[in-house]
Amino acid sequence: MKDMPQLGIGTFRLEGDTARRSVLDALQVGFRHVDTAQFYGNEEQVGDAIITSKLERNDLFVTTKVWYESLSEDKFIPSVHESLSKLKLEHVDLLLVHWPYPGEEVRMEDYLGQLAKAKELGLTRHIGVSNFTIEQMEEAERILGKGAIYTNQIELHPFMQNRKVVEACEAMGVMVTAYMPFAVGKIMDDETLNAIADEHNATPAQVVLAWMEKKGIRTIPSSTSKVHLQENFDYTGVTLTKDNIARIDDLDNGERIVDPDFAPHWD
């Protein structure tokens, strides 16, 4: 598949048979983008699901991410080969640096050089970053050149809209991919989102996914329920009004969920 679909299936925190079944269910429902990572420990199960689905490789968009402990020059490319072996693929469609390296031991020039090398070697079709700040994105563009970074995958949901980073990405021509779009389920309890959902005979999740698309943001929700996967996939039946979008925009309160001790200094 040439371009990243609007909607993908996220696999963070999915393990073993649960991961295998969730990805297979998603592919059967119609999802064609699968997002995983070395750190998730489920690349093997994702690969199993892809094989079981019997889908043509060209019909799929597969993303994985290199963990920060594998960013050094001696570990980077071997770790990608290991990921591909687990995924049972000759290449991924998108390879991301999962987190910027948190110390001084590995320079960005070096690990982004390895990322570019992975593309040159045909291990991935596109390269990108995840959890990069504006300053780090600018540095990455300086290192790799304009247009090299396909996406910056960041936490983004109605309660934390990451607007400065989104604007910077748009200015640089970098696609934004939102992870944790449902704020670990918190959207289901929000009065505004429920009211808008009722108005459209939809679910709060469908409302959020429709809002993401209006914003030009790709996203990778996850679910272990085939019913919810189907509902999420069917979000395109929801057409939000300008008022709906404005009300969702107003929910932004900067509530960040993912903030490990090795995270960069956020914008």
Mind telling me the catalytic residues? 40
Is residue 98 part of an annotated ligand binding site? yes
In the CATH hierarchy, which fold is given to the domain comprising 9-184+217-223? Answer: TIM Barrel (3.20.20)
How many angstroms separate the Cα of 176 from the Cα of each of 9, 183, 232, 255?
Answer: 16, 17, 19, 19
Alpha helices in 13-128 (DSSP H): 16-29, 43-53, 76-87, 108-120
Strand pairing category for 61-66 and 92-97: parallel
104-113 pLDDT per residue, tens: 999 999 999 9
Q: What does the pLDDT look like over 215-257, one tens digit per residue?
A: 999 999 999 999 999 999 999 999 999 999 999 999 999 999 9
CB-CB contact of 140 with 149 (8 Å): yes
The per-residue pLDDT for 224 is: 96
pTM, whole model, 2 decimals? 0.97
Question: What are the sequence ranges of the domains in the chain?
Answer: 9-184+217-223
Mean pLDDT across the chain, nearest whole number? 97
Structure tokens at 175: 């696609």
